[in-house]
Amino acid sequence: MDKDALSAVQAPLKQRYRDDAGSAVVTMRASGRLGEGVSCSLDTGRALAEAGLHPAAGGDGTQLCSGDLLLEALVACAGVTMKAVATSLGLELRGGTVRAEGDLDFRGTLAVDKEAPVGFRAIRLAFEVETDATPDELATLEKLTERYCVVWQSLRTPPEGSVTITAA
């Protein structure tokens, strides 16, 4: 997709959202089913994925770990965002890689130390791109990718949240 094609697809959406801000709010959903042992099966819409404990929390490594899934969602979102931004800027990216890594202290999630955080204490996102873009263009690409990546921004400025449990 080139800059003109992306603009053509997005222009009517942008206009609708300008005219009716409420139409821009979309509720996205995910669901899972509690599985055998300590697991949860996710329906991704394309396939079933089974999540379980990370080996550092007692898992055997055969199931997906939710921490890995979070980092994978970040990589996917950041990669798509970067490609869209590059396209909008008219920058050619011939290829590249996106990597995310995070540091998680399992003492927190295993209730070993009440002072240890539950969740990632640091997340690093890195890109390596094949391009002829100038350093200034790459700086703009980085700034805008960071700004418009939904998952990154959700991690940096967490949304309001709530948890409920009901008996069936």
CATH number for the domain spanning 127: value is 3.30.300.20
Share of the chain above pLDDT 90, in %: 86
For residue 107, give its domain range: 3-156
Q: Which residue has the tokens 């390596």?
A: 128
On the question of pLDDT at 29 being above 90, the answer is no
Number of Cβ within a 10 Å radius of residue 86: 23
Kindly report the pTM of this predicted structure: 0.89
Domain presence at residue 162 = no
Between the alpha carbon of residue 105 and those of residues 38, 39, 120, the distances in Å are: 20, 21, 7
Number of domains in the chain: 1
Residue 46: predicted pLDDT: 81
What residues contact 35, with CB distance under 8 A and at least 6 apart?
Answer: 41, 50
Number of Cβ within a 10 Å radius of residue 130: 10
Domain presence at residue 166 = no
Domain presence at residue 168 = no
Q: How far is CA 145 from the centre of its chain?
A: 12
- pLDDT per position as a tens digit, 105-162: 999 999 999 999 999 999 999 999 999 999 999 999 999 999 999 999 999 999 999 9
